[in-house]
Chain A
Amino acid sequence: DGGITQSPKYLFRKEGQNVTLSCEQNLNHDAMYWYRQDPGQGLRLIYYSQIVNDFQKGDIAEGYSVSREKKESFPLTVTSAQKNPTAFYLCASSMRREIGTQYFGPGTRLLVL
């Protein structure tokens, strides 16, 4: 059953703590993306990667970090430098030549305690 999985569905972070959100895909897609969504707003791009071991900053990369060691995986770390991390985080993937056609995971909702 092909698709994108994100875990966990809900994540709680204490002040000053780093947390890592998981994103895995078995669609054999080269490109992967992380978006942030705040209530009532559209999606904003955090980071994207078009190939293994390479990634680019999106519009709101400050306070976040990523790695792309495997084609299937693109974890996102929300660092303590991100002062307002409470949001809905969405991971997506696409063929490298079809960036406009992205497949999204179910999302992770991050809450700060």
Chain B
Amino acid sequence: DAKTTQPTSMDCAEGRAANLPCNHSTISGNEYVYWYRQIHSQGPQYIIHGLKNNETNEMASLIITEDRKSSTLILPHATLRDTAVYYCIVRSLLNTPLVFGKGTRLSVIA
């Protein structure tokens, strides 16, 4: 699976959009981009995933660049409860397990 690069930490003001970037320049054509988050001392929570089209659900939006070498997770109106570590993961559908990196620590500030 392709390697991902994420910033170590980010801050966001409460009520503003949080835009979390992820670089995956070696992604191959059959690999999906997954996002999870982990609130302190809890289990990770699945957020969203996509292949090449932009995706949106009740939690977030995922924007994947046309060349698929990077993506952005958007939390449209961040709240204090969105403070967490966000993991960007690239994997194929060939039954390969998820590989979690260190992620981005997002702090939402009042």
- Asked if A99 and B95 make an inter-chain contact with CB atoms under 8 angstroms apart, the answer reads yes
- Asked if A100 and B42 make an inter-chain contact with CB atoms under 8 angstroms apart, the answer reads no
- Asked if A104 and B45 make an inter-chain contact with CB atoms under 8 angstroms apart, the answer reads yes
Across the interface, which residues of A come within 8 angstroms of B103, CB to CB?
Answer: 42
Which of A43-51, A66-74, A79-87 is the interface stretch?
Answer: A43-51
A85 to chain B, nearest CB (A): 18
Q: Which one of A42, A90, A105 contacts B87 once the chains associate, using CB atoms below 8 Å?
A: A42
Q: Chain A 76-113, CB within 8 Å of chain B: the 1/0 string?
A: 00000000000010101000000111111111000000
B interface majority secondary structure: loop
Instruction: Count A interface residues, CB 8 Å.
Output: 24
Q: Which one of A40, A43, A103 contacts B100 once the chains associate, using CB atoms below 8 Å?
A: A43
Q: Is B29 an interface residue when CB atoms closer than 8 A count as contact?
A: no
Q: Is A41 an interface residue when CB atoms closer than 8 A count as contact?
A: yes
User: A interface vs B, CB < 8 Å?
Assistant: 4, 33, 35, 40-45, 48, 50, 58, 88, 90, 92, 99-107
